[in-house]
Amino acid sequence: MSENLILVGGAGGFIGGHLVADLLKKGHKRIRAVDIKPFDEWYQRFPEVENFQLDLGRLDACEQATKGVTTVYNLAADMGGMGFIENNKALCMLTVLINTHLLMASRDAGVQRFFYSSSACVYNADKQRDPNVTALKEEDAYPAMPEDGYGWEKLFSERMCRHFREDFGLTTRVARYHNVYGPHGTYDGGREKAPAAICRKVIEAKLSGKHEIEIWGTGNQTRSFMYIDDCLKGTQDILASDILEPINLGSSELVSINQLVDIVEEIACIKLKRNYNLSAPKGVNGRNSDNTLIKKLLGWEPNTRLRDGMEKTYAWIYDQMTSK
């Protein structure tokens, strides 16, 4: 393996922690893991890599983080599930400082490849009004009408990556993540996403004996969910590729939130009374990933079925909740 130094921004987070683990597994020896969180709040931390606690929203921190680095994975963002991004639009927008400063520092440090994790939240909201959604193609991001706050920041940062590539010759690659889930992530506290939140709620109902669950919205809203292992492979394949434009990275296995609850109930061997909170944040009515382009260009398709990934996620969250 080459001894190039790899920077993972947001390494204390869910996807970042898994990425560091995967790079180590593949034999990469020189990895710098950076996150704003104190070390004891990182989801995964590995003593054999350089671990820095830095605020990548600051240019000086980005300059420190990129020193001697050849490859950057930028997964750092102030974000969470619907409950967070609908109520913290300014905080989500401020993440623009992370990508901007990391791009500037990477350009000046002579970084060779820069990966940016964008989101399906960049897509035009008009195309996501129906639960029986037509899967989103890459060109559906324009004309722009993304998720307010979080989606606008992601779309703007995609453009920033493009212009740093065109104007400064920094090789940038962008993936639009569609709802990544799996073990070693947030499952409570307000930033969790639907798969982890539903696992937690079902486990709480099972442990407490109160066999009820609150579901945000009608439960008819649809999504696709990508297991973390598929995300890691796609991310690294995209960075190594010649794909210049932002590309979907997601599953095309569409389910409603009610169906997601069905799956978790089945895993838990329980049936719950469903209470629908129609005033809770629920996001768009329908969103799915069209994988035509990535299949054509990279031959990539997620190979973890939702049922299998949710089983692993449920087991991990159950262990966390019962070992406290």
- Selected catalytic residue, list 43, 73, 123, 150: 150
Active site residue 177: no
Q: Angle at the Cα of 295 (from 289 to 300), degrees rounded to 5? A: 90
- Cα 200 from Cα 268, distance rounded (Å): 11
| C-alpha distance from residue 236 to each of 5, 43, 252 (Å) | 15, 21, 20
Provide the annotated active-site residues: 150
